[in-house]
A and B are shown apart, each in its own frame.
Chain A
């Protein structure tokens, strides 16, 4: 069995709190040893050596919100391009949304995704199942059969489950199965026709607004139903101060609630839309500066459990349009780590605390074996330099779509190498 030794690394394992210089030994697909003085007596002779030269070695990132275009929109993202982008971003496992065409609302579709990803032998891809058939919000999908086929959670993707009765039944049904419901938190009636955050900037630009209350209203309704049913509920890409406060209070009351933030919502605010930049058109929309600060505070104090890339690829024809007509969404897999590292650089939280939010915490929510540096764990790893300066450029992106709102941004942090099951699947040039 092939053995690989990674030497001279700064070991970072958020689950155990380990942050120390040391090494790691891989045998086959698994970590067989890890620790500060691992290679004190020398590296095993038969092992291939990767010299980390002081770079950070952490569990490969786990991204719980990725949109692929396959099947149905292969011109935007395929399994091949999406997993290449993930690898370049240090992501070794991700969960993909079910709102493809056809929708992942049938056990055969779950198996299709698993088979496609397995054949590529790159990043591990875990499908979500739809809550309702066709993500249409009317009839429950076969969540029991989807779960048995391997669905790691249930969501209607970019659509909120708005009907309160269907939501109640979905939560009742899932409370028995033990699955988690992931909600896109936006009241569709209040958001109807809106293209950016409601407020002064929208008025000055003459664009229709989506009010911040559209988020908290849906979440507060859902929280009442969570209390009634006892089901596990996860708020995707939370973006407003009021909604974060609602989640904070619900957690204090002991409800089984978790929340997630996307980098666009803690790194950018609604001013990015000026100049009608359609790459800044995301869903939920970029919010006010007060809301952005609230997202940072929520990440720092633990109200927000997880950071996910919210990768949503769009091609030129979907984005190079008048603002109101352009599609929502931004790619995020390859900018996830450097943009999130700014939270550490600005002192909002520590490096281990940050890494926890895209390693073992999402892995626990998805119920997958990932996100930890320990013996017997799969050798899914990322080697990165947290301080290397870089400029985000769309020509460097591996994703088929280039719609990043961070184009041209200067960041610190660079993924050097990504390994899945002990194999190097990405290595930075130079």
Chain B
């Protein structure tokens, strides 16, 4: 849809050859967020914590958690997104998540339901017509 996409993550969490999807890969939040219009956080899946992908939640938050400090390298009006459910203090700081002037997270989660309904509608149209 014309967007330039960057991925920021520790190498241990990234799939191999992910740059072949046409994304730019970063391992440093300040550099990855530089000039970004939208910052979309993803949940650190707790099942991932059982292995040795990342040392600890506190180190992950320290290096990759979205805080106002790290957000400062994005555009001043950059929108904050997250598909939910959020882990506050893991991938996103509570004050960033709740920043009503920047965060589109609640709208995103609400619209996510409508989008899923629309997908189901489209995908099942033919089947329902045949029935």
Residues on A facing B (Cβ under 8 Å): 132-133, 138-145, 165-166, 169-170, 172-173, 175-176, 229
B59 touches A144 (CB 8 A): yes
Q: A169-B12, A175-B11 are in contact. Are A145 and B59 (CB under 8 A)?
A: yes
Partner-contacting stretch, out of B48-56, B85-93, B105-113:
B48-56
Report whether B52 and A176 are in contact in the complex, using a CB–CB cutoff of 8 Å: no
State in angstroms the CA–CA spacing of A141 and B59 once bound together: 10
| Residues in B lying within 8 Å of A, measured CB to CB | 10-12, 27-28, 51-56, 58-59, 62-63
Report the nearest B residue to A132, measured CB to CB.
Answer: B52
State which of B11, B52, B53, B55 has its C-beta within 8 Å of the C-beta of A144. B55
Given contacts A132-B52, A139-B55, A140-B55, contact A173 B10 (CB under 8 A): yes
Contacts of A166 in B (CB 8 A): 52
B11 engages A140 (CB within 8 Å): no
- Whole-angstrom distance between the Cβ of B47 and the nearest chain A Cβ: 15
Given A144-B62, A145-B59: A172 in contact with B54 (beta carbons within 8 A): no
Task: Provide the bound-state CA to CA distance between A145 and B63, in Å.
Answer: 9
By the criterion CB–CB under 8 Å, are B12 and A173 in contact?
yes
A143: nearest residue on chain B (CB-CB)? Answer: B55
Q: Can you list 25 pairs linking A and B with CB atoms under 8 Å apart?
A: A133-B55, A138-B52, A139-B52, A140-B52, A141-B55, A142-B56, A142-B59, A143-B55, A143-B59, A144-B55, A144-B62, A144-B63, A165-B52, A169-B12, A169-B51, A170-B52, A172-B10, A173-B10, A173-B11, A173-B12, A173-B54, A173-B55, A176-B11, A176-B28, A229-B11
Most buried by B among A133, A145, A165, A173: A173
Q: Contact: A172 with B52, CB < 8 Å?
A: no
User: Nearest A residue to B14 by beta-carbon distance?
Assistant: A172
Chain A residues near B53: list those with CB within 8 A: 169
For residue A174, give the distance in angstroms from its CB to the closest CB of chain B: 9
Bound together, the chains give a CA A138 to CA B54 distance in angstroms of 12
Contacts of A176 on B, CB cut-off 8 Å?
Answer: 10-11, 27-28
Closest to A163 in B: B52
Which residues of the other chain, A, contact B56 by a CB distance below 8 angstroms? 142
Kindly state the separation between the CA atoms of A162 and B64 in the bound complex, as whole angstroms: 28
Given contacts A140-B55, A176-B28, 13 further A-B contacts (CB under 8 A): A133-B55, A139-B55, A140-B54, A142-B58, A143-B59, A144-B63, A145-B58, A169-B12, A172-B10, A172-B11, A172-B12, A173-B12, A176-B27
- B62 contacts across to A, CB distance below 8 A: 144-145
Top 9 nearest A-B pairs (CB, nearest first) are: A176-B27, A172-B11, A140-B55, A142-B59, A142-B55, A140-B52, A169-B12, A139-B52, A172-B12
Shortest distance from the beta carbon of A137 to any chain B beta carbon, whole Å: 10
Contacts of A169 in B (CB 8 A): 12, 51-53
How many angstroms from the CA of A172 to the CA of B57 in the assembled complex? 18
The smallest beta-carbon distance between A213 and chain B, in angstroms, is 27
> Which partner residue on chain B sits nearest A145 by CB separation?
B59
User: In the assembly, what is the distance between CA of A173 and CA of B62, in Å?
Assistant: 15
Task: Report B98 CB to chain A, min CB distance, Å.
Answer: 26
> When chains A and B are docked, how far (Å) is the Cα of A144 from the Cα of B10?
11
Q: Chain A residues near B10: list those with CB within 8 A.
A: 172-173, 176
B-side contacts of A140, CB under 8 Å? 52, 54-55
> B54: which A residues are within 8 A, CB to CB?
140, 173
Complex-state Cα separation, A143 to B52, whole angstroms: 12
